[in-house]
Structure 1
Amino acid sequence: MRSTISNPNDLPEKPGVYLLKDVQDEILYVGKAKSLKKRVKSYFKEDLEDPKTRVLMRHFHHLDYLVTDTEKEALILESNLIKKHLPRYNIRLKDDKRYPYLQITSDDYPRLLITRNVRDDGSHYYGPFTDVTSVRNLLKLLKPVFQLRDCKRMDGPCLNYQIDLCPAPCSGQVTREEYHENVEKVKLFLEGRQKEVMDLLQKEMEQAAQNHDYEKAVVIRDQLFSLGEVMEKQKMEFNRNLDQDVIATSNDGEVVVVVVFRVRNGKIMGKDDFLMEGAQENSPPEILTAFIKQYYSGPRQVPAEILLPVMIEDRQLIEKWLSDKIYSDKNYGDYSDEDYGDGDEKDVIIGEYDNGNPPVVEIRVPEEGLEYRLVQMVTKNSSIILNHHKQARGALLDLKTYLKIPRIPRRIEAFDISNLAGKNAVASMVVFEDGKPSKKNYRKYKLETPGPDDYAMMQEVLRRRYEKLVDKGETPPDLVVVDGGRGQLNVATDVLNSLGIKTGVIGLAKEFEQVFIPEVAIPLILPSTSPALHILQWVRDEAHRFAVKYHKNLRNRDLQSSPLDEIPGIGPKRKMNLMRHFGDLETIKNATVDEIFEVKGINRNLAIKIHGFFRPIKD
C-alpha cells in the first residue's frame, strides 16, 4: 500500500519503504525500515548529528511510504527504487549499463551474444564485464568449443557449418537435446564451474570411445584441450576451492571506488570496479551495504561467500535475501510504473524454497590467512584505482584552467578526418569520460563532401554530429577537440555557434603540440610533462587511430574484390600499389600507359596490358 503524509506520527509501526520528497515532489531519499514510524521519526530530531541528514531535512516537504510484509521485502524494494529513481541523498552505484554482459538467449536453439541491455526476456545473463576485449576473447573461445549457432535466422547450413563452427540446427544436423547439452556446459563455464565441465566432457569422451564413436570422441578431445589451455592461463590459483566475491572500497572524500574480485573454484575469474555517487561522507560499512544491495539486485551470480574488510549493516537480512536469490530466478519487487505505483497495492515477489533447506550465503570479515590477504589485495587494488581517478581529476582541472573553459571537461569529444586524395573520406568521433575512453560512444562517419577538402569535411562531420544532438535535446560535451590548427578550429566554432551550442572547443596541431583557442591569437603550448597535455594527446591520437582504421577497412574492402584481379600478372601487392598510387579504380581506368608505368612494381608490358584491359581496341 502506498500513502502520502507529512507527519511521521501517522506512520504505521510496520516494515516498509519510505520516500522523503521536496516541495516539487522530487524524491530526495529512499530508505527501508523494520518499523516505519520509529525510523522516520528519527529524522525529525532537533539534534541531528549527521550533516548530510541535516541538509536533506532542510529540503524535505512530505513523504510517501509503502508497507511490506517483512523487512526482507522492504530491503528488496528499497534497492529497486534507488536504482530506478537515483535519489540525490542515497548512496548510488553508478549506472553500469555501459558494461557488457554475455547473454544466452531464450530461443529454442540459444545463441551466445555480447549485449549491454539486460531485459527480463527469459535469457541468462553473465557479467557485467569491465573489459569488452576480454568478453570478445571469451566469446571467440566458447563458440567454436561448444558450437553454438551464430546466425540470426536459421535459414539453412552456412559457412560456419562447413568449417565445423556450428552443428547446423537449422537443417536438423543436431537434435534439440544435443544442442542444449552444449548450452548447459556453456552456462556451467560462465558460472565459474570449469572443472565440472571438464569432468563432464571427459566422461562423454570415454563413453564415445567405448561405443566406438571415435569421431565424436575426437571432437570432445579437442574441446577438452581448448578448455585446458584457457584454464592454464589463470594467473592465480589457491590451494582450496573457493566460491567467493571479495569486495573492498576506497574513499578520498571526493571519489568513492568499490572493487570486486570474483573467485570461482579457487581461481580469480575477474575484477570489476565501480564508482559510487553520493557516498563521499559515508563510512565504509554504509558504502559496502549500499553497494551489495544494488550490485546483487541485478542478474549476477551470487557466491556462497562474500568477503569484506569491514562488516556491513543488516548482515543477517542481506544474507537471507541473497540465499533466497540463489534459488529463485524471479524478478523481485518489480515496481515498473513511472511513479513507482498508482495507489494500488502491489505484491513484492519473494522466491520460495522447495525443500526448506535454502542455499546459504555467508558474509564474513576474515582476520587471518589466505582470505585476509586476499581482502588486503582487493583493498590495495581499490586504492590504486582511486588514485588513477584522482590523477585524472587533477589533470582535467588543470585542463579547465589552461583552456579557460566554463566546466571541467569530464566529457570530451574529439574529431579527425582520414582520406587518400579525397577518396574513401571518413571521420571519427571518440569520446573520453573522466579522462578515460568511452568506446561505446565512439562514432564513425562516411563523408559525402568531395575532396580533398579537410575544412569542408570537418564541417560536415561536426554538423552531422551536433545537429542530431540539438534535435534530441542532449547535453553537449564539456570540450570539443578537432585535429588541426586555426583553420579547423574556426570551422568548429562556426558550426557550434550556428547551432547555439556553448561549450569549450580547441584545435590541437600535432607538429608542435600547439593548442588553438577561440579569440586567442597566439597558440598555447602546455608543458611537455603536464598530465593535462597528456590527456589531450591521448584524445587526439585515439581519434586519429580510429579514423585511420575505418579508412583502411574501406580501402581493404574495395581491394578485396576488383576488376584488377582479372588481369594476369596483377597480384595483391601490385593491386595495392596501384590503388595507393591512383586512389581509386576509376582513376586507374582513365590513366595512360605512361602514368601506369610510374607505379612501383609495374613494368611497361604490364602497364600496356592494364591499359588495354580497361580500354580495349575496338575493331
Structure 2
Amino acid sequence: MNLDHIPHHPGVYLMRDRTGKILYIGKAKDLRRRVSSYFRRDLGHPRLVVLLSAVRRIDYIPARSEREALLFERRLIHDIQPVYNVEWRDDKTYPSVKLTKEDYPRLVLTRKIEKDGGTYFGPFPEASSVKKLLRALRRRKILPLRPCRFDFREADIVSPGGLEKSRPRLYRKVKSCLYLHTGECPAPCVGKVSRSAYGKMAGDARLFFSGKNLPLASKWRREMERLSRKLDYEGAADLRDRLKAVRQIEETVRIEPADIGSVESRTKPTRALGLLREALGLPSVPRRIEGFDISNIQGSEPVASLVSFEWGLPDRSAYRKFRIKSVAGQDDFAMMAEAVGRRYGRLCREKGEIPDLVLVDGGKGQLSAALRSLRDVDFRSAGLRAPSLASLAKRDEEVFIPGREEPIRLGKDSPALHVLQRVRDEAHRFAVTYHRLRRKKSLLGPEDRS
C-alpha cells in the first residue's frame, strides 16, 4: 500500500475498507512511521492479519501535538465504535494527574477518572516523564504536597493532643514515615503546617498543572544547558524529561466534534493534499501552502497579498499584505518578484517557518519572476529548505512548475485542483480588498490618511 500521502506529523489515522467504512482508529506522534510499521513487521497476530487484509485506504487527521491526537483518538473511538477497536477492547487509558479533594490534598498519577470531587489534569501520552516531574516538584519543594496515602482530617490534627490522641494507630504509622524524617513532606499530619498554608500550596499546584509554569520551565532549561556544558549528561537528561512533561502540561488542546460527518469533512482536505503531492511531484505532503496575488489599476497603488493554508484550510493569522515599493508603472512580474523576495528574505532572517508550497497567481511569467526571487534568497545559510513553487493560470486553470515546459492539466473535478483554486481565489480576494482600501485612502487625500 502506498503511504506517501501520510506525513511525518502527529495525528489520528483511520483504516477503511473498500466501502469507506472505518475499521480501526489509532493515534501517533509520527503518522507515517506508525502506519508504515504495520506493513514492515511480521504481523503475527491473526486478528491483525484479518484487519490489514480488509484495509483499502488509510486517511488521517492532523493534530498539533501527540496529546491532542491522543484525546481526539479517544473521542473518535468512543463516538464511532470502529469494529476492530471494539473487538480488541482497545480502550487503553492514559495517565492523568489528580489533585485530591481532601483537607490536605495530594498529587497522584492515575489512569481512572472518577466523580470524587478531585481535580484532574491531562491525560498525558507518557507516564514516565510525568512521574519524574511529580517526584522533582516534591523533592525540590516546588510543590511540596504530601505524598503519603494516610487518611486524616483537620479535626484530627487540631484536637487536644493532636493525631497522637485522636488517631493513635495512625500516629504510630506517621512516626515511622520516611517522608517525615527526610523532610520531603510538609508534615501536616503532625501540625507542622496549617491547613490554610497548605491550601495555598495546593492552589499553586492547581495553577502549575493548568499551564502557568513558565518561570520554572525557564529555570530548568538554563540549568539543563549548564549541566550539558559541564558534560553532566545524566543530570541534563533528568531536566530534559521534566521539561518534556511541562511542555505536555502547557499544550493547548482543541476538542473537536467526533461524529462521522466531522470526520469526513476533516479527512477530505488531507486526502486532496495527498493527490496534490502526487500531481505536482512534491517531496512531501504540502501541509502549509502560501499563495500570492497582485492587485493594481495601471500601476496605481500596487499591492500584493499573501494567504496561508494549513492542511488545506485558511490560516488567517498568517495572512500578510505588501505595498509594492520598488516597481514603477505596470509590471506585474516585477511586483510578484518583490513580494516573494521580501516574504522569504524576512523569514530566513527571522528563522521563520517556510511553507511546503508557494503558489502564485498567473502563468509562466509570474512563475519565472517568483523563481528568480526564491533563488536570490539564501535558504541554506539560514538552515532552511527552499519551498516548492507552482503557478495557476486563470484562463484554462493550468498549473506550471519550474523545470517543466508543458503545463499540468488537472481534471475540473480534481480535489488537487480545488485546493489550488481555493488558495488562488483567496489570495485574489485579499489583494483586491487591500487595493480598494489603498485607493480609497489615496482619493481622500494625505490629510485623511491613517
TM-score, structure 1 length as denominator?
0.36
More relative contact order, 1 or 2 (CA 8 Å, 6+ apart): 2
Q: If the length of structure 2 is used for normalisation, what is the TM-score?
A: 0.48
